[in-house]
Structure 1
Amino acid sequence: MAESRSPAAKSAAFAELSARLASAPHRPLFLAGTIAVLLSMAWWAVELTWMRFGLAGWPQPSIPPGWAHAMLIQYGLFPLFMFGFLLTTFPRWLGRPDLPWTRYVPVAGCVFGGYVLANVGLLDLPWLLKLGIAVMLAGYLIGVWTLAGVLRASVAERKSHARSCLAALSLGSLGLAVFLAYLFGAPADCALLAIKLGTYGLLLPIYFTVMHRMLPFFSGNVVAGYKVIRPDWSLPVVWLLLLAHLLLEWRSALGWLWLADVPLALAFAWHALTWQPWKAMRPGLLAVLHLAFAWLPVAFVLYAVQDVVYAASGHLILGRAPLHALGIGFFGSMLVAMVTRVTQGHSGRPLQMGAVAWLCFGLLQVVALLRIRAELGGDVYLWLVIAAYGWLLAFLPWVLRSAWIYLTPRADGKPG
Structure 2
Amino acid sequence: MPHGLSHFLSSSLLLVTLAVPFLLFPLAAWIVLRLPVGRMRMAAFAVVNLVFALAVCISRGTYGVRLHDVKQYFVFSTAMFAAYVVLVALQYLLLEKKLGSWLPLFFPLLMLAMVKYMPAHWTQGFVPAPFSNKVFGDFLLGLSYMAFRLTYMVHEIRNEIVPLPSFSEYLSFAFFVPTLSIGPINPYSSFHNSLHKPDRTLTPVGRSWARILIGLTKYIFLGNLANQLSYDGLLADGLPHHWIDFPIAVAGYCAYLYLNFSGFCDIAIGVSGLLGIHVQENFDRPFSKRNLQEFWAHWHMTLTNYMRDMVFVPLSKSLVRRFGPASAPHCIALAIAIVFILMGIWHGAGWNFVLYGLWHAVGVATVHYYTLFLKKRLGKARYAKYRENRVIYHIANAVTLAYFALGLILVANSMRGLHMILGSFRPM
Report the TM-score, using the length of structure 2 for normalisation: 0.29
Rg: which structure is higher? Answer: 2
Report the TM-score, using the length of structure 1 for normalisation: 0.30
